[in-house]
Amino acid sequence: MANEVLFADLSGSARLAAVLHQEIVLKLADRASLYMHPAIMRLGSVAGRGSTTVQIPVIGLDGSDVMSSVADGSAVSNTALTETGVNVTVARHALQYSISDLANLTDSVGLNVQRLAQSMVGSAEMTATSLLCNVIDDFVATTGTSGVDMSVDDFYNAQFQLQLASVAGPFVCILHPRQLADFQASLRAEAGPSQFVAATQEMLNIHGPGLAGIFNGVQIFASS
């Protein structure tokens, strides 16, 4: 029994201290993407257009001006067209990974150049979501009270503000996971025809993993 072949003696050369499994487990992170949601206006690329700024004309047409009552045979005064513009300027965001040729060549778990490139797509989507949420917290019209749990009343009040401002739907809602939990807790005390429709697998396939469900015709996304 003096010359047994033990694992401890083979470790480091003939045996590995730990064998890498073929499955990669991702770190916990927010992956709720709103990158391609139809509620977001996409202005295309500025490549080859000579400027880093895109201007969106805002024109008062299609009912912005109403007609006035005019007597038969009377002349009609000219109405000035209401017009303005909104500028959107490109902002650069970047992320870099580096992997050596040897590390890529000897890969056994799927951590290679192709996987890093695929990860970049997710990073671009989450950057867009983060920037979108950063714009939302600067909105002037607000409902609810800071530090107080969100309720169904807050949800309705927000929808009412959009309707009173003649904002065309459909609307989209983005909630922090804490807000979503408070909203769902408030829903438990509600009674009536309004129901929260949890996201089905088909809905998730269309809109991505961030969709939590639909309430009162509004898509609700959760993002931290």
Do residue 114 and residue 190 come from a single domain? no
54 found inside a domain: no
Terminal Cα distance for the chain, rounded: 60
Question: Which pLDDT score is estimated for 51?
Answer: 93
Q: Are residues 159 and 199 in the same domain?
A: yes
Q: 72: which 2 tokens?
A: 């038969």
Contact status, residue 21 vs residue 109, Cβ threshold 8 Å: yes
The number of domains in the chain is 2
Could you say which residues of the chain have pLDDT below 70? 1-2, 205, 208
> What are the tens digits of pLDDT across the range 13-64?
888 888 888 888 888 888 888 877 778 888 888 889 999 999 999 999 998 8
Length of the chain: 224
In a domain, 22, yes or no: no
pLDDT of residue 1: 60
Within a domain: 31: no
Domain range for 116: 87-138
41 domain residue, yes or no: no
**Residues 150, 191: one domain?**
yes
Asked if residue 29 belongs to a domain, the reply is no
Q: Indicate if 207 and 149 belong to the same structural domain.
A: yes
pLDDT, position 103: 92
Query: Is residue 59 assigned to a domain?
Result: no
From residue 115, give the alpha-carbon distance in Å to each of 104, 125, 206. Answer: 10, 16, 23
